[in-house]
Structure 1
């Protein structure tokens, strides 16, 4: 049966890639100066072709859009220009905007987006957007399914103006800010609009609503009037200077303020028209926001996404190998951050230098090379490590690809006083991936195999394997997956939370599209997931985990959403485990538990200035019970301020002699956007599980495109004293000033 499904999937992949490309836009070169101000007063705008007649995507996808949209494009030697005119259904109305901060998110806003698949591979694209207040966002689409990384940043220009009955966006995208093949005269393209007044989402090229609105399987053609030329030399220098004052109060009487000043920078150099060389010397990532704290009731490591700019362009070439949750060959957050096992803390590990070459060789081939060197840490005798990664990817059939990755972590330092340090230590991984995406987007899947080598004595079960296949029709969705992680598989530059794992997951879902009433869409899903592992005491393979779930997902016409899940979970403990993760009484090893619970979440209409979500869970938990209530509430004074408070309360009631616990996580975010260039964000987070109270405040002044001044203040307090009584005690504090300037040569 599986072989038959794979054959059908491959057959679908080999179909013509032109599916859905029945629209085309002819773009012409101009010799007129365009002023990007949101005022379409240049006569040339009325002389070029119009991309209009948009198709409705939400709430239905069987009719034309109710709100009219017009897109116009033209170009010169340096810029791709666009204008968008969005008509409203009412003469006078209010526009929804979360804030004036760049990279806005969500479907509740008023915005226009442009997607450019410059190599026409239907798997990678550039995504540019503008909302009704002229706020910009840019991102990278990778994999072809529509997922966008909004962390990518680059130089381009846009403005918007509001008029009675419509609003206008106007923009200029430098050819130097995107990658494309010199000599091509066609790109794939699509445009989509979000209209909060009508609660409507619409696209130029029709996209079925059961797929992501950004899916690259459904694009039109952007036809250039002549083959594109290379836009000249493309070199960017991004120097920075940073000053930092810190104090660690946990050092006791020895605690004194420490100051540090650093200078470094990055360079981005275009190699041809498809490759980019990133260089960094003494990089600094102090402007990155702190991770939101979470209540961790899992037995394994949590995954937090990468936000550092150096790693983001073509990040999928490195980070998408393997399984997203169980086996990642490369996880960039392993570089520059280490677990200090001596002091039991996570701390930064300075990166001395790095280089990354990545991008397109031609329409079918992509490649990536990375090398970085970290500094040794003398107080814990940690050597400096060299990190190297090489990847090569080949497009096959219409939208699928196959790739290989090799990673190496190795120290070249001489033996030091650390008895745990082996000067000959190394860790290497070789992996192969096949990513399936059929031309019509109905079949997607993945197969991978990886093998690791290191300086340990292990010579068996150093492998990982997975296969996943999914059919996504309009009414039915079926998925099948299995994952196998060997007991000794080791990817030190990757993310492998669990070894000795064999997992099978099956999913069956039915979609419904009511034609009347408040419900726009609902889905019923059944999931069966089973994991096996080997016990240490008997070395026998046993069922370690199993999940049986019935899920309901309801989308309402007003954009609110309700999700519910009834779950049955089985857990076998190979090791002792405290289910509260508070260092309490542990459940014994080689014991098993079956427990049932109900989980629900409701998200309100996100177009309102006051929005909220509610999360609840009730039922059994290991040998006790768990009761959870949480959610968040947000209020916008648009477009200048947004206030958010989130709460997560877990009551874990365990029988004697095991530990019961009340776990509370409270966080708040205050976001002031005084202008489109000046922002202030403040986080307050209180976590009883971690016994920590955190304050993080960041001021950002974007004085020029992609050039910023940051002022960051962070403060951490312990919330329990030696007698386990509540009281704030200072742990550490930091004040950082950083100036970054983006210079194009």
Structure 2
């Protein structure tokens, strides 16, 4: 009932508060050509002189009410098979900032332009394509209207071409994107289109047709109309095969196991079922090329979230993985291929045989998804073969809102009756309903959901949450509440905490002074309070702060915090396997935190986030941060770190934690990359080395060599033995993939 009351209030809010934005949309025509276009970055074909461009970009930073100082022109035409794009980016000089030649670069702090195509013109989802002055490409997707930074994904890859050419005071670019790359309705008369550009020389971010600065720069709420000179008709069916072969060796020195010889063959297939619906197949997927997780200092009492990095699961992750909240997520794809070894009581990887995914749009208002994966069994570890199934349907309502239903099933397909005593569920299921709301201008947006889980030995249990955001130029506010029943158990999801009620409001006042030093600043306050229904308050976190951005693009922030925790179980607040605090007692403390990030346009940039204050029954001092040094345009060297010192009276002396992560990334060309990533973590006495060489010998086709070492380091409390190394595991893998269009 509470869920439907929330839905009703949202819809009433839409009628009362939605800004109509009746201003006429800007538009441009996509021409038709039979002329051959060479993708060399030079706009020397005759067709570019015959087209009217999308132009008159406006500033997003430093001020969103002025025309861009560095203007941009975008031309488009089609030969019915490909979309061709010509771009001309003016600049104050020739001092371009390019971090490296690696594909899927980071936009901030670099010169580049990004184009967003809302192919269903629903201001909900979009494909984006980007290029910089060196002709380096990036592509990805925008989901949920682009309301928050989490709606931006770089995980989608496809076949397309682009190149750029630098001149005195400007650069040009040409892109060729096959229509088989897109998903769109047929016939199509127009698409939604937006674009944003980073120009480091004028210290400017500009957008087309124009985006208010209180919105994220890639929001889909303020589009132009991209009108086709001739309607797009149904494209031919597209089929892509992506086979792979991988080989290598793996050795576990810590347990003195025999060397494991690796040889795997498998692949993926992509089949366009309709212009809006796609089928993805995978057989014996191999994820050996996936980069290792970035480690963190763990001071939490609950499970830590690490993002999905496997390509097959990253594509369309917004459709399957964004139900609920990040901490009440009914489908977390990293659960697939991870089984619990009930004999040794540890989480281990288990083989994925294969699976399929159908995703896309049935019609302009209905989006669907169906995912099914099968994993192998391991009787010696007590891991049954498991089938994972997920079904999703999402229906657009109103201008930028939708309602979605999700069902998740985890089923043991060869369950061993002798393992009953090991507490393994034969199945675990959930069903959920989500309502995502956004007004036309994105002033109001949020979501409400109700989810339920059930297993053989538990009754149905629910989780419910609601968030409402109000976002204007000078004021922002958030209301968020959650409830999770003690028996709620989404085994394929991520819900690290159960049996609580949570309320988390926040508010922020924003100011934009007219001076050359400070661009903007804000005052804010937030609260985060937990209760157990049968107990009362268990945790709270209150914070007030000041933050801002200087005109030269550095950021700062200061916060005064008050924390409270009641311990139901013994807990070591240092995460160093030290003496635990006893259960059934509470603690409260005051702390100060700050942060500073320098201008990322510079060759050398750095950031710092100190912490000082009380902590449980004592004190904690620490800082985390890092620096980045560019070897423009070939690569960079970076180092991140986190250091904590704990002075707690129940311990004999202080305790320290260290996390040090240097990385070097070097690009020999736009097709040959190398990186070395080292992580030293004192909490688990481990040093990890991950080195990679990648050769992109054809579009979306790679030869990758990956070398990984894990070392047991010395006792962190003994300075003379801190960096002693004993090898734990070592592996080297060579993998080749090839993208073949049929």
Matched, 1:261 2:255: no
1:62 Cα deviation from its structure 2 partner: 0.8
Bigger mean CA deviation after superposition, 577-586 or 435-444? 577-586
Match in the other structure for 2:459? 459
Match in the other structure for 2:45? 42
Find the partner of 1:713 among 685, 690, 707. 707
Match in the other structure for 1:148? 152
1:20 Cα deviation from its structure 2 partner: 5.9
**CA offsets per residue over residues 87-109 of structure 1, 9 Å max, x none?**
1123xx21101110111113211
Query: SS of the residue aligned with 1:327?
Result: coil
Match in the other structure for 1:537? none
Find the partner of 1:271 among 251, 268, 273. 273
Match in the other structure for 2:646? 652
The whole-number CA distance in structure 1 between the counterparts of 2:396 and 2:8 is 23
Find the partner of 2:740 among 734, 739, 743. 743
8 A Cα contact 1:413 1:423, kept in partner: no
Find the partner of 1:677 among 661, 671, 682. 671
Match in the other structure for 2:325? 323
Query: SS of the residue aligned with 1:268?
Result: strand
Matched, 1:447 2:448: yes
Count of aligned pairs: 732
**CA offsets per residue over residues 383-424 of structure 1, 9 Å max, x none?**
111000001100010000001000000111042654545787
**CA offsets per residue over residues 307-346 of structure 1, 9 Å max, x none?**
222123322111011111x200101111122344544554
Match in the other structure for 1:523? 522
Match in the other structure for 2:220? 216
8 A Cα contact 1:337 1:348, kept in partner: yes
Find the partner of 1:615 among 609, 613, 625. 609
1:541 Cα deviation from its structure 2 partner: 1.9
The whole-number CA distance in structure 2 between the counterparts of 1:496 and 1:365 is 28
Query: SS of the residue aligned with 1:680?
Result: strand
Query: SS of the residue aligned with 2:319?
Result: helix
Pick closer, same or farther for the CA change 1:664–1:20 going to 2, 3 Å.
farther
8 A Cα contact 1:278 1:357, kept in partner: yes
Match in the other structure for 2:191? 187
Q: CA RMSD in A?
A: 1.9
1:246-395 to 2 correspondence within 5 Å? 246-252=250-256, 255-324=257-326, 326-340=327-341, 342-343=343-344, 345-395=346-396
1:605 Cα deviation from its structure 2 partner: 0.7
The whole-number CA distance in structure 1 between the counterparts of 2:576 and 2:456 is 35
Pick closer, same or farther for the CA change 1:715–1:344 going to 2, 3 Å.
farther
1:652 Cα deviation from its structure 2 partner: 1.0
Pick closer, same or farther for the CA change 1:355–1:19 going to 2, 3 Å.
farther
Bigger mean CA deviation after superposition, 370-379 or 359-368? 370-379
1:682 Cα deviation from its structure 2 partner: 0.6
8 A Cα contact 1:12 1:439, kept in partner: no
Bigger mean CA deviation after superposition, 484-493 or 658-667? 658-667
Match in the other structure for 2:128? 127
Query: SS of the residue aligned with 1:250?
Result: coil
1:515 Cα deviation from its structure 2 partner: 1.1
Which runs of no fewer than 5 residues in structure 2 stay unpaired? none
Match in the other structure for 1:603? 597
The whole-number CA distance in structure 1 between the counterparts of 2:415 and 2:679 is 42
Match in the other structure for 2:31? 28
8 A Cα contact 2:342 2:382, kept in partner: no
The whole-number CA distance in structure 2 between the counterparts of 1:21 and 1:709 is 49
Pick closer, same or farther for the CA change 1:486–1:248 going to 2, 3 Å.
same
Match in the other structure for 1:229? 233
Pick closer, same or farther for the CA change 1:542–1:228 going to 2, 3 Å.
same
Match in the other structure for 1:482? 481
The whole-number CA distance in structure 2 between the counterparts of 1:166 and 1:547 is 50
Pick closer, same or farther for the CA change 1:71–1:715 going to 2, 3 Å.
same
**CA offsets per residue over residues 93-151 of structure 1, 9 Å max, x none?**
21101110111113211111110000011010001100111110101000002531011
Pick closer, same or farther for the CA change 1:210–1:491 going to 2, 3 Å.
same
Find the partner of 1:196 among 195, 200, 206. 200
Match in the other structure for 1:503? 502
8 A Cα contact 1:20 1:206, kept in partner: no
1:37-116 to 2 correspondence within 5 Å? 37-90=40-93, 93-116=94-117
**CA offsets per residue over residues 352-375 of structure 1, 9 Å max, x none?**
011100111111100110110001
1:623 Cα deviation from its structure 2 partner: 0.7
Pick closer, same or farther for the CA change 1:582–1:77 going to 2, 3 Å.
same
Pick closer, same or farther for the CA change 1:4–1:424 going to 2, 3 Å.
closer
The whole-number CA distance in structure 2 between the counterparts of 1:590 and 1:660 is 24
Query: SS of the residue aligned with 2:614?
Result: strand
Matched, 1:407 2:404: no
The whole-number CA distance in structure 1 between the counterparts of 2:73 and 2:395 is 37
Pick closer, same or farther for the CA change 1:744–1:8 going to 2, 3 Å.
same
8 A Cα contact 2:86 2:173, kept in partner: yes
TM-score (norm 2): 0.96
Match in the other structure for 2:398? 397
The whole-number CA distance in structure 2 between the counterparts of 1:150 and 1:436 is 24
1:43 Cα deviation from its structure 2 partner: 0.9
The whole-number CA distance in structure 1 between the counterparts of 2:198 and 2:343 is 52
Find the partner of 1:636 among 630, 637, 642. 630
Query: SS of the residue aligned with 1:251?
Result: coil
Match in the other structure for 2:139? 138
Query: SS of the residue aligned with 1:674?
Result: strand
8 A Cα contact 2:374 2:386, kept in partner: yes
